[in-house]
Chains A and B, each alone.
Chain A
């Protein structure tokens, strides 16, 4: 049975607050901050890469599912590209600050 999605009108603030309420990370502890989040993001990126690697290994050994490998690589690829974009943004911001005249 095909299911349909119901759309409804919301205020622009609700659009972002709705998400924030459901998945806001708890208050940041001291010593934890952007750096910790970055480390976590990189480690999950590494996890995706390792998974893709493992799947490719399984295929090379004659087991595994071809499309699952492809999907694992796809995930790793998207995550990697996101990480690269975030890194570029950070470097841009850093350069912007360094260019400030004091």
Chain B
């Protein structure tokens, strides 16, 4: 647990929050997507966070924590899950993806929800950068002892 542990932890937090922003952007961009590789409309994606041992591994290289929770832990995105809630069904007979009765299955993305997610992720990112900033100031103070 050296001085840079907190730096690694904040780094993992930054990575996780950035993934959250990526997913919120993906959801927003695909708010009207009716075709996907898997077939059917786009399903909104959500990250699942998991705590990992802060052994200097940032991002995918980190291993899940084994020693319980009495140590500083970093975070990583364990998996990305698709939201199974069915989306809106709108009547639009002219749409190329309309079914026999003229209904189109739309994605289950609520733009308002995604923007709130985006805001929360951005604030989370900010919080992590603040932690880094604080660590930086502490390092500067420690070095001032040597002056």
Contacts and interface: CB of A to CB of B under 8 A. Distances in A.
B4 A85 contact: no
B15 interface: yes
Interface stretch (B41-49, B115-123, B139-147): B139-147
A8 B40 CA distance: 60
Chain A interface SS verdict (over half): helix
A62 to B, nearest CB: 16
Contact of A3 (B10, B18, B58, B69): B69
Chain B interface SS verdict (over half): helix
A71 B5 CA distance: 12
Interface residues of B, number: 21
Q: How large is the interface on A (under 10, 10 to 19, 20 to 34, 35 or more residues)?
A: 10 to 19
A65 B7 CA distance: 15
Contacts of A86: 146
